[in-house]
Chains A and B, each alone.
Chain A
Amino acid sequence: MAEVTLSDLSKSFGATQALRGVSMTIPDGAFVVLLGPTGAGKTTTLRLIAGLEKPDTGDVRIAGASVVNDTPAQRDVAMVFQQYSLYPHLSVRDNLAFPLRSPMIRMPEDQIARRVREVAEVLRIPHKLDNRATALSGGEMQRVSIGRALVRNPRIYLMDEPLSSLDAKLRADLRVELKRIHQDLGATFLYVTHDQIEAMTMATHVGVLDQGRVVQFGTPREIYENPVSTYVASRLGQPHINLLPADAFPGAPHGAATIGLRPEHIITGEGKAAIIQRIEHLGDQTRLHLTLGPHALVTLTDPHSTLTPGETLHIRPLSPLWFDRDGNRI
């Protein structure tokens, strides 16, 4: 386990600038989640740490020592790929044992057998150990590739959307499992995802990337409550933050162009009149789709709400987020 420091990392592929001066410290034992849309540089960041790409400029340090000239094997990191990573010619057992048989580790076979079984139990695939890797369902394959990282005790786990191909139930189970592994082992994780529930539940820190830059780095709460821009604010929150022109409500500070309203920033029962367009009952929450003049917004209400579409609802903002014309927080 170790602290990983990225300083001023840049990387371009041909004409595409994938990373532009990324600096970030992943503290020892942290669970850092990288958020951002496709092309923001999340996967490139993982590949640079793993040693699969060389940075154009900048440095990667693990436990204080620069690793940019080390091979992936020497870096002692584990990585879970988004897809394609099981060795198709090997059984599940041999896939899981593969890292332990490497010249870097060379674990005795009896220990390998024990370790493989333990990990298979955790991932609930012990009955699949003798299957060929290609004879598994998508979810099982992904569990095996997570398992192939977990059999080792690397300095950092790099995970590239490991749960994205799984169904909701398994995803929820493995989320808890990964969190437990993180806490039990005190392992350091760098985890890429699109899924905000994964980010909010597992992360100790969240890094938000935009076009190859880190735009904000902090705890999930900080990112949620104090986003530095509309871009960051849109990354987290379900339903999405409502972004309206600042003059939709009175009280805009000087220079504000946009008001950002999360559901908890909307007080109902007083203020401006909005019309209920649609009501979504999701069981644990009820979403109200409103129109306020020309603007549409979404908020939450009591699950047992008796409101009906077409009714008028008065709303006013409560300590909302204000952004300037460039989308930066005021």
Chain B
Amino acid sequence: MSAYSVTEPSKASKWLAGLLVALYTLITLLPLVWIISTSFKTGPDSISYPPKVIFEPSLEGYVNLFTTRTRIAAEDFAALPPPETWYDRIVRDQGMVIAGQSRFGERFMNSVIIGFGSTFLSIFLGTLAAYAFSRFKVPLKDDLLFFILSTRMMPPIAVAIPIYLMYRELGLSDTHLGMILLYTAVNISLAVWLLKGFIDEIPREYEEAALIDGYTRFQAFRKVVLPQAATGIASTAIFCLIFAWNEYAFAVLLTSGNAQTAPPFIPTIIGVGGQDWPAVAAGATLFLLPVMIFTILLRKHLLRGITFGAVRK
């Protein structure tokens, strides 16, 4: 680690830097604020012009997201008993009654299963492969690594048609397993390359010490390498999860009834009972949460992970 002196920046330049960062943050966060505030608006508020910044919050979007609703004849509507629950009332206020449950919960669970499943699998396989590439003499190592990376050199959707045909033949279309395998295949190159970088940085002496201390190679890997690679594993996991979670094109193409994830489902909400922007915004807001929570939980690791390896000792 080399020492270098840095002169303290002037007050004016600090202010300017702060201002730029604040401006950038504002621009980045504005769409999020828009989505989250829309999710708490009523239908009319959501499309009012000029847009309402201050409004009376409503759970209409969330109720509509989880339900299907129907209009009934005016005399039948008037004859209904008073609404029993708060969500009955919200639907009744829109002049409709609840017809049943929407499929959002199910789609959301599909996203969770497929997103976390493929992240786990990518990290599991990626860590083992990265360790082997980092520590052992693998024949054609450089060519193999290049080959693994080459799967990233085109947009994955370029192979959509072959994959569609292959999945249809194999019976993997519209299955959780099929989507987990697909996202893992896309993520594994990223996982191997990132994790190899992290494992390369862990001095071999630790494992050698463990080998001499009476452990097998695999035990040394588990007890000495894994805990030290935790930072790299966490940040790689976040990248993998974000890709699998947000993936849209393959999900549209390969899933429909059974294993459909949230991204292709959310836009379909718009068709139910007119332009229901609050429901779409509510779906998008809930969809943001898992990745946000996951990232916040691993935040400490992520920050260290980003600077790790960038700083040469």
> What is the interface of chain A, defined by CB distance below 8 A to chain B?
50-52, 71-73, 77-79, 81, 83-85, 87-89, 98-99, 102-105, 145, 148, 152
Contacts and interface: CB of A to CB of B under 8 A. Distances in A.
Given A84-B203, A87-B224, A98 B210 contact: yes
B201 to A, nearest CB: 12
Name the 9 nearest CB pairs between A and B, nearest first: A102-B214, A104-B214, A99-B213, A72-B211, A84-B205, A89-B227, A85-B209, A73-B214, A72-B212
Nearest to B213: A99
A145 B206 CA distance: 11
Interface of B: 203, 205-206, 208-217, 219, 224, 227-228
A90 to B, nearest CB: 8
A84 to B, nearest CB: 4
Contacts of A152: 213
B227 A102 contact: no
A99 B211 contact: no
Contacts of A89: 227-228
14 contacts: A51-B211, A52-B212, A73-B211, A79-B212, A81-B205, A81-B208, A87-B209, A87-B210, A98-B213, A99-B213, A99-B214, A102-B215, A103-B215, A145-B209
Contacts of B208: 50, 52, 72, 79, 81
Contacts of B203: 84
A182 B199 CA distance: 38
B224 A73 contact: no
A83 B205 contact: yes
A52 B206 contact: no
A242 B127 CA distance: 58
Contacts of B206: 84-85, 87-88
B211 A81 contact: no
A78 B205 contact: no
B209 A81 contact: yes
A88 B228 contact: yes
A130 to B, nearest CB: 18
A71 B219 contact: no
A104 B214 CA distance: 5
Nearest to B217: A71
A83 B205 CA distance: 8
A286 to B, nearest CB: 40
Given A71-B216, A87-B206, A89-B227, 18 more contacts: A50-B212, A51-B211, A52-B208, A71-B217, A78-B212, A79-B208, A79-B209, A81-B209, A84-B206, A85-B209, A87-B210, A88-B228, A102-B214, A102-B215, A102-B219, A104-B214, A145-B209, A148-B213
A138 to B, nearest CB: 15
A152 B205 CA distance: 19
Contacts of A52: 208, 211-212
Contacts of A79: 208-209, 212
Contacts of A77: 212
B127 to A, nearest CB: 16
B216 A73 contact: yes
Contacts of A88: 206, 228
